[in-house]
Amino acid sequence: MDGDETRLRILDAARSCFAAHGYAATTNRMIADRAELTAAAVYHHFGKKPDLMIAVHRATEELYRTRILTAVEAADDFVDKLVALVDVIHDTISNDPEQALFYSVARDEARRHPELKEIEEDRTFPQLFAEIVDMGVQAGVLGSDDVLLARGAVATVATGLAMLARDTTVEAHAIASEGAKRLLLGSLLRTPVP
Amino acid sequence: MDGDETRLRILDAARSCFAAHGYAATTNRMIADRAELTAAAVYHHFGKKPDLMIAVHRATEELYRTRILTAVEAADDFVDKLVALVDVIHDTISNDPEQALFYSVARDEARRHPELKEIEEDRTFPQLFAEIVDMGVQAGVLGSDDVLLARGAVATVATGLAMLARDTTVEAHAIASEGAKRLLLGSLLRTPVP
Amino acid sequence: MDGDETRLRILDAARSCFAAHGYAATTNRMIADRAELTAAAVYHHFGKKPDLMIAVHRATEELYRTRILTAVEAADDFVDKLVALVDVIHDTISNDPEQALFYSVARDEARRHPELKEIEEDRTFPQLFAEIVDMGVQAGVLGSDDVLLARGAVATVATGLAMLARDTTVEAHAIASEGAKRLLLGSLLRTPVP
Amino acid sequence: MDGDETRLRILDAARSCFAAHGYAATTNRMIADRAELTAAAVYHHFGKKPDLMIAVHRATEELYRTRILTAVEAADDFVDKLVALVDVIHDTISNDPEQALFYSVARDEARRHPELKEIEEDRTFPQLFAEIVDMGVQAGVLGSDDVLLARGAVATVATGLAMLARDTTVEAHAIASEGAKRLLLGSLLRTPVP
DNA sequence: TATGAATGAGTGTTCATTCAT
DNA sequence: CATGAATGAACACTCATTCAT
């Protein structure tokens, strides 16, 4: 029996359950059933419940991070990088809304349950956004005194898009994404966009 | 041993706990401890856990509704009514952020737990906003064909302010409230605001 | 408010509930509801649960005892007394089967719950039957060496009729009663019945 | 940690407790203690309380059915089959009176608790008796128009013997069994028994 | 006389977790 | 790698009982 594939099945199942029912209301059996396994098997692979939650969070974040970085690095111009950033966020959310839902649920639950503090303290996205903003500084399109402001702006827009996904249709989200692009391009960059 | 006062203490305690820990993670003992009572006493007054949650929700809503209606009706002009609406929302949220937090948590949990469907189906706020918008129509400041649009706008702004309260400082919320006023006045009314 | 009538209402309600659900499964609230009172009121009149059960038992027995004695004493001949005995048992059971049911349930439960030992130790019926048999001895129709045997026979027939009532129709019970008369008259008495 | 043996221990413990205290007064911890286990372990094997009660009932019935059928089929003549039937009932009851007690308690409780309706609806014994009576018809010793009557007679005698066991000594039960045989043989069969 | 408020002890049940296999 | 058996701690909820009013 393939261990890696099993781990993936468990992660998937756990993400669905946590997203749908929250941390406290999700039982190990629910996850195990969904993954077509025993609860003991879940333990074998991920240990205790908070560990599993953290693992799902890490996996989700890792996936996001890779996708975003890849997309941003593929774009040449910094302007294109920002556009690519918003696009990849929108695409990811649209293709798998459950992941976005899990992500925001995880943030909520981390605030409540001390055992999840690793999630609360996680800095993946701030760091990622800082890296992206730094690209702009190095390209000379962003003033170094605007760095903090710019990071905040990128974070706000990204978080906003993620939150929006909880109640919005795909179409509305697409429109919001367009708006987000305008916002980022228009207000952040020195050189006005044609 | 005053029944009414005890009921209030339980409602308060329950609101705090549900807001802080969510529905599933809140135990009846937590609530009882906070209200300085036994868990059995909570049952004596409110019955089962979902009933208590619903009671808290109803009480919160009732309070909001009364406050908002009173404030709006006290204002003469429709423009003043809108201003009063935003102000009272901001004041309420600033003075007791826990209530606002409970309110949004309740909505989230109602989606997850079928026993709470009474909360999900509650229409207090849409109706309230409809009433307010109707005042505008009767005052002649709102075209009757804009009614649905206006209701949506008011709802969006109100919900937005409530959500904002989850992560924002009081000052930032005050600023956002000002922005909200501009938005409502500028985009809804026939007669442009000077 | 009339205390005596209330006591009767409680006794009635309790008898029904105990008969229908047994001792353990009957709650004080059930009884109180049926008597249209509060559980605390039940306590006011009868004290703890076993006390109430015992009170119902005593009342039931007292009623039976009075009825039976009256009927038996009204008959002149000893033969007529035996006939009257069976008749009054049959009538009582047919008119209020719930009482008969309660009676046998009480016996069962007394064996299980030590708090009810007063019920188990009760000797009302054996004594009653002994009294009746003694009438036969004094009348010279029963030999004094047959006394124990006769008491046993009367007890068996009475108990049997009571038990029968749990699953039988009124008609069938009437027939069984006739049979019981034959049995008693034919096998107990010295002088053969014409 | 043998699952099957544990299940048997739980069934035994549960039968004892239900027989002694009735359904409502039997707690899961009592059963668990008697089986030298935790209450949670009982749940692991049998689920909820009614399920356990039903399982005990089924097991008891299954055992009875097998024993009776085996004994009856082993007898050649139909007369011998009837004798074997009474004998096996008497033996079973004498050897393990608790089982017989459980059986009658289960019937009583099933009438009271709707969750136990599976027990009330059970038709194992009527069917079994019907099968036995059919053997008599096929052997030509019973007229086909007496089938229903014969089934009733067998059922009555069997139930009577079971009920008798609740208050009688083994010796008295043995005598009653002899009487039961006479009754069945004398009144049911065409050919008179010598 | 009758009630509502309050409690402590318990009940059935669930669940995260461990462990031998 | 995966499972079934087992547990301890907890949870929602109930109930008999008391007491002040």
Q: Where are the domains of chain C?
A: 58-185
Stretch A128-153: mean pLDDT: 85
Considering Cα of A48, then A49, then A52, then A54, what sign does the dihedral take? negative
Q: Do chains B and A touch (3 or more CB pairs under 8 A)?
A: yes
Question: Would you call B160 an interface residue with chain A, using a CB distance cutoff of 8 Å?
Answer: no
pLDDT, chain B, mean: 89
| Interatomic CA distance for residues B35 and B41, integer angstroms | 10
Percentage helix, strand, coil, to 5, in chain B? 80, 0, 20
| Interatomic CA distance for residues B42 and B10, integer angstroms | 7
The stretches in chain D having pLDDT less than 50 are 192-194
Q: Are the Cβ atoms of D22 and C24 closer than 8 angstroms? A: yes
E-state strands within D90-167: none
D-chain residues within 8 Å CB-CB of C21?
24, 112
pLDDT of residue B188: 63
- Calculate the alpha carbon distances from A126 to A111, A130, A152, B155, B184 in Å: 18, 6, 9, 32, 33
Q: What's the whole-model pTM score?
A: 0.89
Residue D35 is classified by DSSP as: T
C42 CA to E8 C1' distance (Å) = 21
D-chain residues within 8 Å CB-CB of C109?
22
D-chain residues within 8 Å CB-CB of C23?
25
The stretches in chain C having pLDDT less than 70 are 1, 187-194
Q: Give B97-151 pLDDT, tens digit per residue.
A: 899 899 989 999 999 999 999 999 998 988 898 899 899 888 888 887 778 888 8
H-type helices in A28-96, by residue range?
Answer: 28-34, 39-46, 49-74, 78-95
Q: What SS3 class is residue B178?
A: helix
Residues 6+ apart with CB under 8 A from D53: D14, D18, D23, D106, D109, D116, D119
pLDDT tier at A192, thresholds 50, 70, 90: very low
Is the pLDDT at B171 greater than 70? The verdict is yes
Full DSSP string of C90-157: HHHHHH-HHHHHHHHHHHHHHHH-GGGHHHHH--HHHHHHHHHHHHHHHTTSS-GGGHHHHHHHHHHH
Q: Give D85-102 pLDDT, tens digit per residue.
A: 999 999 998 898 899 899
CA of D24 vs chain C CAs: smallest distance (Å):
6
Is the pLDDT at A64 greater than 80? The verdict is yes
Is the pLDDT at B59 greater than 80? The verdict is yes
Question: Would you call C107 an interface residue with chain D, using a CB distance cutoff of 8 Å?
Answer: no
Q: Are the Cβ atoms of C24 and D20 closer than 8 angstroms? A: no
pLDDT of residue B7: 96
| Interatomic CA distance for residues D79 and D140, integer angstroms | 12
pLDDT of residue B146: 77
Is the pLDDT at A174 greater than 90? The verdict is no
| Interatomic CA distance for residues C70 and D166, integer angstroms | 33
Q: Please, what's the b/e burial string for C33-58 (b: 16 or more CB within 10 A of its CB; e: otherwise)? A: ebbebeeeebeebbeebbebbbbbbe
Q: Are the Cβ atoms of A113 and B25 closer than 8 angstroms? A: yes
Residues 6+ apart with CB under 8 A from C68: C85, C88, C89, C128
E strand or H helix at B100: helix B97-112
For chain A, list the contacting chains (3+ Cβ pairs, <8 Å).
Answer: B
Return the closest nucleotide (C1') to the Cα of C47.
F17
Closest D-chain CA to C114:
D21
Considering Cα of D77, then D79, then D81, then D84, what sign does the dihedral take? negative
Fold type of domain B58-185: Tetracycline Repressor; domain 2 (1.10.357)
pLDDT tier at B192, thresholds 50, 70, 90: very low
pLDDT of residue D188: 63
D-chain residues within 8 Å CB-CB of C108?
22, 108
Closest A-chain CA to B164:
A160
